[in-house]
Amino acid sequence: MIVRCLILLHLSLAAITIDYLSFKSPLLPDHSDKFYTLGDAVPQRKLVRLHPPKQFSTGALVSSNQINLTSYELQIVFNSGSGGSLENVGLSIWLTNLTYHIGTLYGLSSDFQGIGIFVDISKESLYLTESYKDLDISKIMSSPSCNLVTKNKQTTLHIKVKENKIQVWVKEKKLRKCVEAKIQEIDNPIFGISSHSGNTTTTVFDIVQITTLDLNGSELTEEALQLLENQFYSDVVALETKSFDLVEQITNITQSSEYQEILQITSTIRQRAGSITSKLSELQNQISTLHLDDSFTNISNDEITNLRDAFAKIYTKIESIIIYIDSKKIISEISNTIEKQYKNMSIHGEVLKRELDISENNLKNFETIFEVDNRVFYLHIGLLIIVLFSLLVCFKVSKTKKVHRIV
């Protein structure tokens, strides 16, 4: 009888996922009998965006099926982001058994009747409101609330409903209770998530996952319960058998010669460790009782002064050695620099010499060409004189012939 009670208690605490009231992106066609979108809501590959990032846009994701449970939990995972200063902008998670209309009040209209959970980004708060007439912002702001920062991050809400009581838990680093209230029981409600962007163009709300759990547990037939009870007893018998076997194995090990030898070695090690510890303690006491020899206290002030002078001279000598070493380094660097400059000048001189040789060769070539040109010039002049002289002679001869003819 006790076993049966324990089984029933375990089953009553176990939560069963209700598939037709649960959702995980993407919103495929086979989800059409579970959820549908309204307004500007757009299904995407990994989420459902309630509205685009533009002013005065409104959207909602609504369950197609009623919640036919008396005790259940809604787990809602959503992302929210905004880049500006907002006022009364956020999303609402609601339960109602009446007709739902989208509106500008966190995605709800003023005629909404039911339970609303409002997440306000600007006020970084969550409000739990029960309204059956004239829903407005003042009614929301005056309802039970808790602090909740959701801007630019992913948030998970656990909404637990049992008859006339509702709790909202928030999963951050750990699960914490946010708000709790008594409510009017709603028979077979539908639920949804809505949002309105207000006059901003940067606000978005993305629904990533919805999981609905039945907190009542599952009902078992007498036959199924009997099977579980029998299985429990068989598991207990098997566990007892394994326990007896384990005890027997431990007994055999403790009575073996190897185990006794290990115990003896362990005892010897402990004794030696104790001896070493005592010797260390004795040595520490001896060190703590040591005193300086009295001969060290008989040094006079003059001797101390002489020692200081000697150390000062040694220090001065060391400084002079360091300066000498540094000066040698400087001289070496200067000589290296001069040597490099001399090498550069030598290279530059060789280049100039080559250029002078080239210029001299060019000059000689020019002189040779000039001499050849002079010879040709003089030859041309000589030829010209000869030609002119020949023409002159020819002219005189022709003139003489004409005179003879006339005579």
Asked whether residue 135 falls in the same domain as residue 16, the answer is yes
What is the amino acid identity at position 367? E
Range of the domain at 254: 222-286
Asked whether residue 62 falls in the same domain as residue 179, the answer is yes
Question: Does pTM surpass 0.75?
Answer: no
Q: How many CB atoms lie within 10 A of CB 167?
A: 16
| Nearest of 79, 161, 168 to residue 127 by alpha carbon | 168
129 within a domain of the structure (yes/no): yes
165 within a domain of the structure (yes/no): yes
Report the range of poorest mean pLDDT among 183-187, 253-257, 371-375: 371-375
Asked whether residue 189 falls in the same domain as residue 109, the answer is yes
Asked whether residue 64 falls in the same domain as residue 86, the answer is yes
Asked whether residue 60 falls in the same domain as residue 194, the answer is yes
Asked whether residue 278 falls in the same domain as residue 323, the answer is no
296 within a domain of the structure (yes/no): no
Structural domains counted in the chain: 3
Asked whether residue 366 falls in the same domain as residue 264, the answer is no
What are 10-23's pLDDT values in tens digits? 554 456 888 889 88
292 within a domain of the structure (yes/no): no
What are 96-123's pLDDT values in tens digits? 988 888 998 999 999 999 999 999 888 8
Asked whether residue 61 falls in the same domain as residue 94, the answer is yes
Distance CA 244, CA 242 (A): 5
246 within a domain of the structure (yes/no): yes
What are 224-255's pLDDT values in tens digits? 566 666 777 777 778 878 777 777 777 777 77
**Structural domain ending residue among the three candidates 151, 183, 214:** 214
Q: How many CB atoms lie within 10 A of CB 157?
A: 20
Asked whether residue 178 falls in the same domain as residue 32, the answer is yes
Do residues 206 and 47 touch, judged by C-beta distance below 8 A? Answer: yes
**Structural domain ending residue among the three candidates 214, 231, 264:** 214
Asked whether residue 190 falls in the same domain as residue 259, the answer is no
167 pLDDT band, cuts 50/70/90, is: very high
**Which value, to the nearest 10 degrees, does the dihedral of the CA atoms of residues 26, 30, 36, 40 take?**
40
